[in-house]
């Protein structure tokens, strides 16, 4: 199972990013866990200055804006 963390304040872009990850995983038949992290200290701990950020298995893979659907599919299937 892949563990994703969506880093952000809970804004619409953060919600859309989490939903996109969940939908891509469902379409690919991949088990994922999506955790929403809103604590600014935890977000800063990953070095994210612009949200949403995405962490996959404790590795920062994206920051700043909603990721491209192709990129999300790559994370899920990769």
Q: What is the pLDDT, as a whole number, of residue 26? A: 97
Q: Is beta strand 59-63 parallel, antiparallel or unpaired with respect to 2-7? A: unpaired
Active site residue 40: no
Q: What is the pLDDT, as a whole number, of residue 58? A: 97
- To the nearest whole number, what is the mean pLDDT of the chain? 97
- Phi first, then psi: give them for residue 60, nearest 5 degrees: -65, 120
Task: Name the burial class of residue 43, with classes exposed (0-12), middle (13-18) and buried (19+) by CB atoms within 10 angstroms of its CB.
Answer: buried
Q: What is the pLDDT, as a whole number, of residue 52? A: 97
The one catalytic residue in 11, 40, 42, 68 is 11
Domains in the chain: ranges and CATH: 2-77 (3.40.30.10)
Active site residue 14: yes
Task: Taking residues 49-64, report their average pLDDT.
Answer: 97
Task: Taking residues 25-52, report their average pLDDT.
Answer: 96
- State pLDDT tens for residues 14-36: 999 999 999 999 999 999 999 99
């Amino acid at each position: 199972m892949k563990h994703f963390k969506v880093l952000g304040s809970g804004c619409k872009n953060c919600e859309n990013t989490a939903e996109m990850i969940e939908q891509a995983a469902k379409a690919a038949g991949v088990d994922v866990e999506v955790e929403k992290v809103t604590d600014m200290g935890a977000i800063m701990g990953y070095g994210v200055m612009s949200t949403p950020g995405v962490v996959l298995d404790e590795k920062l893979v994206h920051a700043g804006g909603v990721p491209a659907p192709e990129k999300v599919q790559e994370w899920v299937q990769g």
